[in-house]
A and B are shown apart, each in its own frame.
Chain A
Amino acid sequence: MKKLTALLIIGMMIFTNTHSTEIKKKVDNFTLEDYNGIKHSLTDHKSSKAVVIIFIATQCPISNAYNERMVELNRDYTSKGVVFIGINSNKQESVEEVKEHAKKNGFLFTVLKDYRNAIADKFKASVTPEVYVLNSALEVLYHGRIDDSKNKDKVASNDLRTTLDAVLAGKPVGTNETKAFGCTIKKVDIR
């Protein structure tokens, strides 16, 4: 019986270890211009503790419902070594519109224009707002929503904040994939 118990414990340890060394998805570096024409690459942020990519839109009411929250997240986590980057991949939203939108909403983080949705396609991003949290090795630590309600007063699960707090504390990210309703990214027609 003791031998059986020992074997079970060893078995459980092996199983646990398998999960903790799970291979994370990795993204390729990319370079895009912001709304002022300045180029930015993911590898510019190798010394950051985390890079948060958020696919956003100027016209999607759900994305716009998060403008204030994105400003607050950037304010709260930039000083802790987290970099926020917004990407606009919507074909009908011009770079001028992106610039105007960023200024109007007080975005202090970089917003890039993804012409022909090349980066959205690489990330397989399809909705706004859609978040990817990366580590310095460009591994995806979290993918999904900012939180679980477009109505700030009804938020029950602050998924992005929880993720960033875990990353900054050197702890494993609990839930690394979440979903929420949002606007489809309007992409160029590839037919």
Chain B
Amino acid sequence: MVPEVSFIDETGLRNLIANRNGKILLLNVWATWCPPCVEEFPDLVKLARNIGEEKYEIVGISVDEPDDLNEKVIPFVQKHGVPFKVFIAEIGKQEDFINTLNSSWNGAIPATFIYDSTGSQRSFSIGTKSYEQFIEEIKSVK
């Protein structure tokens, strides 16, 4: 089965964050070209499998080039058996996308953003995380 990977622009991103349906959102920004992102990806998949869909939503946003959808992103997502929604950022200016997520973020990936059930950003961090760190961060948000 081909995993669903779609494009998302800044408006789509804002809507995704706002439409919480009572769920806490962990949003991970990654790319297939980013070694630390690739390194942490299995832990993100493990998190999504174990965390419970009733209360939490995990979303991955790839900043690969849109042209790389079929050749790089979909095969990567297939290989990892990704159980969560994956988007490719379809953006005008990188800076606008970066600032939409957090104005103090400089674009370093992987980056993880956690939003509470009202859509307010509760944490933002860059760098590779382990499964335990993902669990600790997401569970600290009530």
Contacts and interface: CB of A to CB of B under 8 A. Distances in A.
A54 interface: no
Q: Which 6 A-B residue pairs are closest in the complex by CB-CB distance?
A: A127-B108, A61-B33, A184-B108, A181-B107, A126-B108, A179-B107
Q: What is the interface residue range for chain B against chain A? A: 20 to 34
B108 A185 contact: yes
A181 B126 contact: no
B35 A126 contact: no
B128 A184 contact: yes
Contacts, number: 59
Contacts of A185: 108
Interface in A173-187: 178-187
Contact of B107 (A59, A127, A186): A127
A179 B126 CA distance: 15
Q: DSSP majority for the A interface?
A: loop
A60 interface: yes
B107 to A, nearest CB: 5
A182 B35 contact: no
Contacts of A114: none
Given A148-B94, A151-B65, A178-B95, A183 B107 contact: no
A181 B127 contact: no
A62 B93 CA distance: 17
